[in-house]
Amino acid sequence: MTSYTALKGCGCKVPQVTLQKYLSNIGDGTIGKETPDCSVIKYPDTRRCLVSTTDFFYPLVDDPYTQGEIACANVLSDLYAMGISRCDHMLMILGVCLDMTPAEQEVSTREMIRGFNDKAAEAGTVITGGQSVFNDFPMIGGVANTVIRDEEIVYPRKAREGDVLVLTKALGSRVVVNAYKWYKSKGERWEKVKGLISEEDMGRAYDICCGEMTSLNKSAAELMAKYKVHGGTDVTGFGILGHARNLAEAQERDVDLRIHTLPVIHLSLIHISEPTRRTPISYAVFCLKKKKKKK
């Protein structure tokens, strides 16, 4: 799967600064500022809201079933980041790779759909439609929608002094999947880094990485609602700093985030990450620690 795309996972995303310039031309330019993870539309004369989100990307792993699971979990993570643990329904976005043989297209497409559908079922939701196209690269993602009372949404803008920053999953998945591809190809890049990590540890890190990326943040969303946390986000295409910046800008008051002791999937892997403008993928929901506004 990954050999059919030049941009893996969220590496296909438009850089954050460029995206913000594009979005400034929509409406009054505030789109995504107050609720950066989801679109929230309040129905007239009611306290109910339509909460929706969409995401899709190119293969991050070679197993199409796992890729389908990752894509579904990634779509749902935006709802979970707002303390919403129920998804009413999903739509699927699918791209069939033109460079594959008909047999490869059949297997990869069938398995991506199966993985996406199984993960949706695990989340307690259903797929009710979508869109499919032929594309240069394989592609999968979707839309998640739910209707919920406004007071049940954990808006990201209520951070207070004393809130604790909680990261629910380890970082470093982009580094792991890149290193694993180098390991499997046994090429020049693996020769440069193989002294930093054993083959056994490389396989173990990759298994942990896939487990993290296919795990739903549904429990985190339930805990956010139960303990009435004051803000959250998921960490995906813009990395932890990019999403932390979005979250800080959404706050009603000035905030100062102190991020430290970040868990990574395997410590030795931080030494083999190649410089890139693309950010890693990981999924997380966190609260904020807020400081008093400086005078």
Other beta carbons within 10 Å of 34:
14
> How far is residue 15's CA from residue 207's CA, in Å, rounded to a whole number?
28
Tokens of 96: 């069939």
Is 49 in the active site?
A: no
The strands making up 89-97's β-sheet, listed across from edge to edge, are 39-42, 48-57, 139-149, 89-97, 127-135
Give the residue carrying structure tokens 């890149």: 178
- Residues 12, 87, 97, 210: which is the catalytic one? 12
* 10 to 7, 66, 67, 279: CA distances (angstroms): 8, 15, 12, 7
Which sequence positions are flagged as catalytic? 12
